[in-house]
Amino acid sequence: MSADFFLSANSGDGVQTLSGPSGERDWLDCMIVKGGTDGARVLFLNALRETLTAAGEKAETFSRPDDPEELDGVLFPGLRCAVVDGAQPHPREPRYPGAVDRIVDLSRFSDVTAAKENRAELMMTMDAARAAQMRAFHSLKAARQLELEGESAAQAHFDHARLERRTAGIIARELRKKGREGGRYFERFLGSATSKGYVWRFEEAAALCPKCYVFSDAFGLAAGSLESLAAAATANGWNAVLLRCPEEPGRIEHLLVPGLGLAFFTSKPGMEFPGTPYRHIRVDAMTKISNRARLRFEQRLAKLLRDEATVALRDAREERRVAEEVLAPYIDTDGIRALAALEAGRLLSWRG
């Protein structure tokens, strides 16, 4: 599997983080990068990826939820190795220290004494970044509360049996064939609220799985169907990628079965599928909404709150960039690149 997804996503409850390969028993090595600045950790991830891909290894990359154009982690499936950012706001800790995962500390490449000369400015910008990020979380939380009211009303009049029949038909047509992949789950986020607005990797996912079923579902009504589809795929020996909802990580929002080239996407306002699906299931038509005027008002208000969250995330990112500029002269970038080369050599030495 190779697509650019997210392992962390912004939500009303803060940054939601999936474990990814960290702590998984069948992975050989997972580096959790901490210390230093955001830029230092991104530099290490980029340098490691460039060295290993130049050596012929395939890489699956993950985007940062604050800046989707920067790396948050990289998987090297052929080596059963990975490297992920483990610093705030998405802290990660080793589950099987040494046996699987380990911490790589970049703080040694910072001139601490020199950085403290700018202590007051750095503290001010870092506090401002955290305050802006909290504003974003509060706006996302308020938007989610409005959406939950609509979801509750839709659930009360939803024709579950109708969607269950459609789901059974899809399973019978698409998931009867036996696979030999092991029937494993992999968890990702398709996208996130970011400093550049909402980013959803529909096109990357559709390139991986071109046969796309799209559920038009503004109220989370198709979650049970996606669970059933995932269970059917894995029961027949196919691996499945569960693309979870950032606001509710326990809920599957999209599903990929790469071995069959199958994708099952949710499409809703603010997260619209951009292409032409193979099949379109209009889940919203399977429920009744009694007060549509109120629902439209709540949806508009929720959109405004999500727009406010984007502005706050952008403010937080700009404050962090100010801190990066102050600290940049005190970061040993050559040392970080040398460490990345050393670690790349270590991983390649384990190549079978």
φ/ψ of residue 325, rounded to 5:
-65, -40
Ranges of each domain in the chain: 8-110+331-349, 158-287
Q: Is the pLDDT of residue 352 over 70?
A: no
Burial category of 227 from C-beta neighbours within 10 Å (exposed 0-12, middle 13-18, buried 19 and up): middle
Task: Count Cβ neighbours within 10 Å for each residue of 299-323 and write b for 16 or more, e otherwise.
Answer: beebeebbebbbebbbbbbebbebb
- Give per-residue pLDDT as tens, 111-170: 988 888 999 999 999 999 999 999 999 999 999 999 998 888 888 899 999 999 999 999
pLDDT bin (cut points 50, 70, 90) of residue 106 is very high
The pLDDT, as a whole number, for residue 240 is 95
The pLDDT, as a whole number, for residue 91 is 81
- Give per-residue pLDDT as tens, 24-37: 668 899 999 999 89
